[in-house]
Amino acid sequence: MNATPTFTLGQLVELVRGRYVGPATDLMKTVSSVAPIHDAAADSITWLAEEKHSRHLAETRAAAVIGSEKLIASYPRGIVVSDPDVAVAEILDKFLIPQEPPEPGIHPQAIVHSSAKLGRDVRIGAFAVIHPEATIGERTIVHEGVTIGRGVAIGSDCTIYDRCVLYDRAILGNRVILHAGVVIGADGFGYIFRNQGHRKLAHIGNVIIEDDVEIGPNSVVDRGKLGPTRIGRGTKIDALVMVGHNVQIGPLCVLAGQAGLSGSVRLGAGVALGGQVGISHGIVLGDQARVGAQSGVMSDIPAGTTFFGTPAEESSAAMRAVARVRRLQKLHEEVARLAGRVKALEAATDDRKHG
């Protein structure tokens, strides 16, 4: 079992190339954890990324607080850095206790077909099944219970966690991470209605996942009907995301949990989708487009814009619509009050006519 790492405060200041504001004697303090600013202990290091959280500075017990010059230059236990988010990422890397990989080589309870080709220093866990003609690159780790189909090609330095399933002919680049339960290359959701039943359409394409992609637990990427479904370089996909057949995702996109992309959707470079975003069939999102959580996208979105709502529309228009809806109760009450006044005036008029 790996022991919890500890560092001196001075080591962490040096790691993030920061400037410590407090006394030099503090640099010998032992730091054994990273914690949020509001509940950090005396042996924790924490960070401050936004001014709205500055109120916690006075009460935090942390050994030191990482932040920008603007936010913590006058704080007596501050570590001033140019980019607090990157600094915290570097420190978290040091405190990470990684999951234990399988032992080097092929576990005796794994099944590897004789025609499969494995690179140097590959690790294959128990109950993994590697089908014919599969290839696995150097230093790739295949955890327990993974199924790798016929003709699958996996690059170098990949990590395939427990119970992932890679259907036949899927292609993974280098440094790809698939978390537990990911399914790559299942049949797309394609049917035609004939003779009072749903006639299944064969999907003869595959899935191509480019370098440095990470896919979260229990997400699914369907194979293409004709050509490939493609996940672009450096894209990060959260848990429980559905990527339909023939979807084309550009490089460096980010898809939050429970997003769903219907067939033939196209995302440009650097697109960001919030949680539970749903996108209709064949929709195109331009480069750097942003879609807010729980939005339903039913038309194309131009590059560089932010959309929100169902049906999704440009964010400022969507927010105005939300504001109008929130005023409906007050408007309803006002209309009821005016209706009462009109009724009273009409009654008074009738009394004068018959008086």
Q: Say if CB 257 and CB 240 are below 8 A apart.
A: yes
**Angle 141-215-36 (CA atoms, 0-180°, nearest 5)?**
100
Q: Say if CB 143 and CB 161 are below 8 A apart.
A: yes
Does residue 245 have an active-site annotation?
A: yes
Q: Name residues whose C-beta falls within 8 Å of residue 100's C-beta, 6 or more positions apart in sequence.
A: none
Dmax of the chain from CA atoms? 107
**Angle 191-186-271 (CA atoms, 0-180°, nearest 5)?**
95
Q: Say if CB 217 and CB 223 are below 8 A apart.
A: no
Give me the phi and psi of 56, to 5 degrees please. -80, -15
Q: Looking at 113, 245, 281, 332, which residue is catalytic?
A: 245
Collapse the DSSP code of 78 into the 3-class scheme (helix H, G, I; strand E, B; otherwise coil) and give the result: strand
Rounded to whole angstroms, what are the CA distances from 231 to 79, 299, 342? 38, 21, 63
Active site (catalytic) residues: 245
